[in-house]
């Protein structure tokens, strides 16, 4: 590929790309309500077709919204899988400075001109910017130098509940892919691009304690004064929870740490570099956190965050939560929790750990309801598709921050475990405030992102050929 010529073409035609991206962002595709899902899926299909490919909506049994499956066959020797998502969160939170589906351009904080729009960074902006990049490659080169398979899911914001089933049911249509690329705007607020070599696996569950044979009111809350001789399901849940952590919030679930893989030399090396170049304070500042857990030093903080599991309480509720002094002995209390599983913790065994801990501590009555549970995933820094992105950043003058893992979760195990292919997610470009008001993407960042995607494809073809 003539990378320089394609990048010049992108620069010369940026206004057209920008308007195509803004038009796409103005089309809502709300996962929870289904609003605009079909129109958005068809929009992507038209784009793939306009690039010389074929595409269709593939419904998934038990799924909410179909996958856009497409192919662009260029007769090239290599094939990449492009993963993405076309659904977005609702935009009903307060505080928007512009309508959430108007794709207006405003100066945002110190980021210069930005498109303010729901889904702009997460992730319809990078998805459409990737398609406009392909258009530029074809315009300059006549065709793509690589075959592409697209699997763009429509229920990522619903927890990707059926994407693994799509993959299982369509292995034949995916098996040609040698690596996966998930185009994303990857630069942080301070400009550093990130590469994350995997994801933790989420075990999201509820624990519910209800009055019953052990005691407590069984069917409804009763007057609070009865607590003097009637036990409380709220106290019982609190006691059960407090058996799972020590005073410093270190997890004490029996066997919780047994399956955790010892940090590898690569983990240690990457965390050393992170600690030296990017103090955790930078990351925590964006969360308005003034003190890191356990007063860890920079290296310990990174190696902990990147290689250890957590036991988080996402929410807790029970009884009367309004104003004033209503007095109530509640009959139930519930907590939502998530464990982030790291290598080599596995989903079913982790559920078992929690269940067994509760039983062993006398809380066999506490109900455990698993809401989401899939495994972690890991890719090596040495993979050509990963190195292709690392080199891209360096070619564009940026040294990436490379993390052993994403401390959050994504169902990328479908790639490394089911399809057995390596993957990478990222790119130049900057966006932020996903799931919040005023989600935005930097306008100059879009062009950077487009240029970076040309590099990634070019680098990958070169590195994979070695």
Q: Which of residues 209-238 bind a copy of itself (CB under 8 A)?
A: 211-220, 222-232, 234-236, 238
Question: DSSP character for 322?
Answer: S
Strand partners, 149: 71, 81
What is the CA angle 349-352-355, rounded to 5?
A: 160
User: Which string of x and - marks every residue 28-47 that binds a copy of itself (by CB under 8 A)?
Assistant: --------------------
The phi-psi region of residue 30 (left if phi > 0; otherwise alpha if psi is between -120 and 50; otherwise beta) is beta
* 145 scored as a contact of a copy of itself (CB under 8 A): no
Nearer to a copy of itself, 75 or 322 (CB): 322
Q: Looking at beta carbons only, is 119 or 217 nearer to a copy of itself?
A: 217
Q: How far apart are CA 120 and CA 22, in angstroms?
A: 9
CB of 291 to a copy of itself, least distance (A): 5
For a copy of itself, which residue of 75, 325, 382, 397 counts as binding (CB under 8 A)? Answer: 325
How many Å apart are CA 168 and CA 172, to the nearest integer? 9
Nearer to a copy of itself, 291 or 420 (CB): 291
- Residue 255 vs 408, nearer CB to a copy of itself: 408
Instruction: Tell me how far apart the alpha carbons of residues 436 and 440 are, in angstroms, rounded to a whole number.
Output: 10
Handedness of CA 36, 42, 45, 46 (dihedral sign): negative
Stretch that binds a copy of itself, among 135-143, 145-153, 317-325, 453-461 (CB under 8 A): 317-325
Contact residues for 162 (Cβ-Cβ < 8 A; gap 6+): 60, 61, 62, 63, 64, 155
Question: Which tokens hold the place of 249?
Answer: 């919030």
Q: What is the 3-state secondary structure (H, E, C) of 49-66?
A: HHCCCEEEEECCCCCCCC
Using CB under 8 A, which residues numbered 48 to 77 contact a copy of itself?
Answer: none
For a copy of itself, which is the closer residue by CB, 53 or 318?
318
Instruction: Closer to a copy of itself by CB, 22 or 340: give it.
Output: 340
Give 132 or 227: the residue with its C-beta nearer to a copy of itself. 227
Q: What distance in Å separates the CA atoms of residue 286 and residue 456, rounded to the nearest whole number?
A: 29
Which residue, 26 or 208, has its beta carbon nearer to a copy of itself?
A: 208
DSSP E strand stretches across 73-197: 79-85, 104-107, 113-116, 147-153, 179-183, 194-196
365/368 Cα distance (integer angstroms): 9
Q: For a copy of itself, which is the closer residue by CB, 373 or 459?
A: 373
Burial 387-399 (b: 16+ CB within 10 A, else e): bbbbbbbeeeebe
Subset of 352-381 contacting a copy of itself (CB under 8 A) = 362, 371-372
Least distance to a copy of itself, CB of residue 392, Å: 26
Q: How far apart are CB 117 and a copy of itself at their closest, in Å?
A: 21
Alpha-carbon distance 281 to 283, whole Å?
Answer: 5
Residues 176-205 that bind a copy of itself (CB under 8 A): 200, 202, 204
**What is the pattern of x (binds a copy of itself, CB under 8 A) and - over residues 335-354?**
-x-x-x--------------
Q: What is the three-class DSSP state of 19?
A: helix
Contacting a copy of itself within 256-315 (CB under 8 A)? 280, 284, 287-294, 296, 301, 304-305, 308-315
Among 44, 58, 140, 328, binds a copy of itself (CB under 8 A): 328
Which one of 9-17, 170-178, 316-324, 451-459 is the stretch in contact with a copy of itself (CB under 8 A)? Answer: 316-324
Binding residues for a copy of itself, how many (CB under 8 A)?
Answer: 84
Q: How far is the CB of 315 from a copy of itself (least distance, A)?
A: 3
- Where in 377-416 is the site for a copy of itself (CB under 8 A)? 407-409
Q: How far is the CB of 266 from a copy of itself (least distance, A)?
A: 19
Nearer to a copy of itself, 338 or 458 (CB): 338
Angle formed by the axes of helices 125-141 and 443-465, to 10°? 60
Integer angstrom CA distances of residue 140 from 135, 454, 455: 9, 12, 15
């Amino acid at each position: 590929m003539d990378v320089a010529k394609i990048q010049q073409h992108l620069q010369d035609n940026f206004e057209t790309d920008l308007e195509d991206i803004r038009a796409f962002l103005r089309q809502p595709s709300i996962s929870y309500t289904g609003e605009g899902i079909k129109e958005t899926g068809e929009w992507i299909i038209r784009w793939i077709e306009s690039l010389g490919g074929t595409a269709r909506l593939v419904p998934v049994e038990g799924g909410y919204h179909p996958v856009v499956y497409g192919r662009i066959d260029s007769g090239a020797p290599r094939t990449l899988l492009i993963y993405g998502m076309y659904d977005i969160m609702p935009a009903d939170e307060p505080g928007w400075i512009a309508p959430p589906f108007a794709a207006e351009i405003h100066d945002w904080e110190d980021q210069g001109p930005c498109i303010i729009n729901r889904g702009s960074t997460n992730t319809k902006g990078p998805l459409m910017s990737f398609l406009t990049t392909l258009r530029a490659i074809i315009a300059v080169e006549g065709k793509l130098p690589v075959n592409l398979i697209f699997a763009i899911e429509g229920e990522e914001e619903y927890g990707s509940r059926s994407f693994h089933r799509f993959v299982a049911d369509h292995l034949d249509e995916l098996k040609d892919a040698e690596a996966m690329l998930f185009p994303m705007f990857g630069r942080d607020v301070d400009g550093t691009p990130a590469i994350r070599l995997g994801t933790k696996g989420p075990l999201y569950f509820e624990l519910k304690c209800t009055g019953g044979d052990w005691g407590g009111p069984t069917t409804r809350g009763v007057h609070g004064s009865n607590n003097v001789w009637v036990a409380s399901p709220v106290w019982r849940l609190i006691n059960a929870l407090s058996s799972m952590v020590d005073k410093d919030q270190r997890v004490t679930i029996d066997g919780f740490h047994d399956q955790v893989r010892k940090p590898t030399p690569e983990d240690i090396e990457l965390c050393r570099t992170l600690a030296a170049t990017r103090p955790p304070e930078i990351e925590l500042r964006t969360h308005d956190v003034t003190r890191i857990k356990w007063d860890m030093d920079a290296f310990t903080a990174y190696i902990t965050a990147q290689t250890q599991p957590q036991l988080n309480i996402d929410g807790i509720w029970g009884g009367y939560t309004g104003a004033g002094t209503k007095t109530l002995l509640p009959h139930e209390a519930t907590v939502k929790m998530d464990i982030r599983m790291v290598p080599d913790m596995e989903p079913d065994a982790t559920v078992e750990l929690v269940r067994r801990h509760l039983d062993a501590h006398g809380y066999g009555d506490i109900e455990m309801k698993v809401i989401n549970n899939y495994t972690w995933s890991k890719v090596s820094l040495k993979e050509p598709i990963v190195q292709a992105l690392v080199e891209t950043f360096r070619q564009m003058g940026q040294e990436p921050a490379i993390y052993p893992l994403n401390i959050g979760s994504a169902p990328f195990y479908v790639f490394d475990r089911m399809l057995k292919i390596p993957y990478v997610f990222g790119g130049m470009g900057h966006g932020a405030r996903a799931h919040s008001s005023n989600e935005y993407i930097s306008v100059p960042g879009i062009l950077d992102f487009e240029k970076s995607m040309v590099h990634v494809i070019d680098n990958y073809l070169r590195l994979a050929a070695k």
